Amino acid sequence: MTTPQTTRRIVLAARPHGEPVDSDFRFEEAELPALGERQVLLQTLDLSLDPYMRGRMSAAKSYAAPVEIGEVMVGATVSRVLESTDPAYAPGDVVLSYGGWQTHSVESTSHLRKVDPALAPVSTALGVLGMPGFTAYAGLLQIGKPQPGETVVVAAAAGPVGSAVGQIAKIHGARAVGIAGGPDKVAYVRDELGFDVAIDHRADDFVDQLAAATGDGIDVYFENVGGRVFDAVLPRMNPFGRIPVCGLVSQYNTTSLPEGPDRTGQLMGIVLSRSLTVRGFIQSEFVEAHHDAFLADAARWIADGSLRYREDVTDGLDNTLDAFRAMLTGASFGKTVVRIAE
């Protein structure tokens, strides 16, 4: 095998207005730099696509700097080491990296983590054993704090975060109510993931179904979608309810505020009168204190069957944009992964 000299990659060409279109991106071939000290040349095997990436495409103030125009799109990857100047990493090692939307990258080893191919398929390091799984674990347990018998509601329940939220809630003795889009996902959430109830948000009587499924109110709403699901959930929150906010995917592609009336004050009024906790978070704040426990817990739960997962795998870097749009609109089913190489 000859060592590759270039990487094929997708750079941000323009800031998307609404749903990202092909012309917001550009495919290009770029030279790979020579390895410096403690660096590795990586071949991307699997690229993770996640909702937060839509935020990085915008210039709005957020917790992370936006991707600059002309820069390669960011993203977590599972990659194979091809060359190394760090004795701790040998060619053939598989690592979790932040390689981005490209076929190869040169990375410093300080931020890499080795992935054990014997433990589970390596792509799970991007999903149930990776950032989405940890997002569910940390947000639910550290902010949501579900108690036995309480009701936990989560949307995008067939997705990588929502599916883990409901199953971890069940493991902790709570009732799990999942919201998903379409009969296939609803059946999967109920029958394969074992949620107590699964509801189709596209149903005409969605609000009534949610009310029937949460007769004792809602104690924890794990917010990852926003929009009309949030509208339906909020009036059903119980006193001292908790709302970890990890995403608002329904509004990431919106370009203007919705029509009025302005319900901000109404929202704050419910927060006040029900003593609710609404807490935005990113998983990174919990890594130091809780990531080791997560890996141990999640591996055990996967082994004993109480934590299941599903991947939606697209082949080839060329199809990344379509896969990204499908994830944002809910057309994907499971953790979205682009297989760049075997």
Residue (186 or 246) nearer to its own copies, CB: 246
Out of 31, 259, 304, 342, point to the residue binding its own copies (CB under 8 A): 259
Quote the least distance from Cβ 329 to its own copies, whole Å. 17
Out of 41, 138, 199, 278, point to the residue binding its own copies (CB under 8 A): 278
Measured torsion, CA atoms of residues 316, 317, 322, 323, in degrees rounded to the nearest 10:
70
Q: Are strands 6-12 and 25-31 parallel, antiparallel or unpaired?
A: antiparallel
- What part of residues 114-153 is at the interface with its own copies (CB under 8 A)? none
Question: For its own copies, what does the binding mask look like between residues 231 and 250, x meaning CB under 8 A?
Answer: --------xx----xxxx--
Residue (102 or 214) nearer to its own copies, CB: 214
Quote the least distance from Cβ 269 to its own copies, whole Å. 6
Q: Which stretch binds its own copies (CB under 8 A): 55-63, 114-122, 168-176, 190-198?
A: 55-63
Token output for 190: 């109920």
Which positions ≥6 away from 167 have C-beta within 8 Å? 176, 193, 194, 195, 301, 306, 307, 308
Backbone torsion region of residue 170, taken as left when φ is above 0, otherwise alpha when ψ lies between -120 and 50, otherwise beta:
alpha
**Does residue 209 contact residue 203 with C-beta atoms inside 8 Å?**
yes
Dist CA 173 CA 165 (whole Å): 13
Residue (70 or 269) nearer to its own copies, CB: 269
Dist CA 192 CA 180 (whole Å): 14
**Does residue 338 contact residue 320 with C-beta atoms inside 8 Å?**
yes
258 interacts with its own copies by CB under 8 A: yes
Residue (148 or 258) nearer to its own copies, CB: 258
Quote the least distance from Cβ 217 to its own copies, whole Å. 11
Quote the least distance from Cβ 59 to its own copies, whole Å. 13
In this structure, is the dihedral angle defined by the CA atoms of residues 88, 89, 94 and 99, taken in order, positive or negative? Answer: positive
Neighbouring-strand partners of residue 127: none
Out of 137, 221, 230, 294, point to the residue binding its own copies (CB under 8 A): 230
Out of 2, 23, 273, 305, point to the residue binding its own copies (CB under 8 A): 273
Out of 35, 171, 187, 271, point to the residue binding its own copies (CB under 8 A): 271
Residue (207 or 338) nearer to its own copies, CB: 207
Q: What is the DSSP string of 206-232?
A: HHHHHHHHTTT-EEEEEBSS-HHHHHH
Token output for 265: 């004050």
Out of 11, 42, 53, 276, point to the residue binding its own copies (CB under 8 A): 276
CA 315 to chain centre: 19
**Does residue 151 contact residue 180 with C-beta atoms inside 8 Å?**
no
Q: How far is CA 40 from CA 5, 336, 339, in A?
A: 13, 26, 20
Quick check: helix, strand or coil at residue 295?
helix
Out of 36, 87, 261, 305, point to the residue binding its own copies (CB under 8 A): 261
Dist CA 325 CA 234 (whole Å): 28
199 interacts with its own copies by CB under 8 A: no
Quote the least distance from Cβ 223 to its own copies, whole Å. 7
Residue (95 or 278) nearer to its own copies, CB: 278
Token output for 252: 């990431």
- What part of residues 282-341 is at the interface with its own copies (CB under 8 A)? 282, 285
Out of 68, 205, 262, 315, point to the residue binding its own copies (CB under 8 A): 262
62 interacts with its own copies by CB under 8 A: yes
- By CB under 8 A, the count of residues binding its own copies is 45
List residues binding its own copies (CB under 8 A).
55, 60-63, 223, 226-227, 230, 239-240, 245-248, 251, 254, 256-282, 285
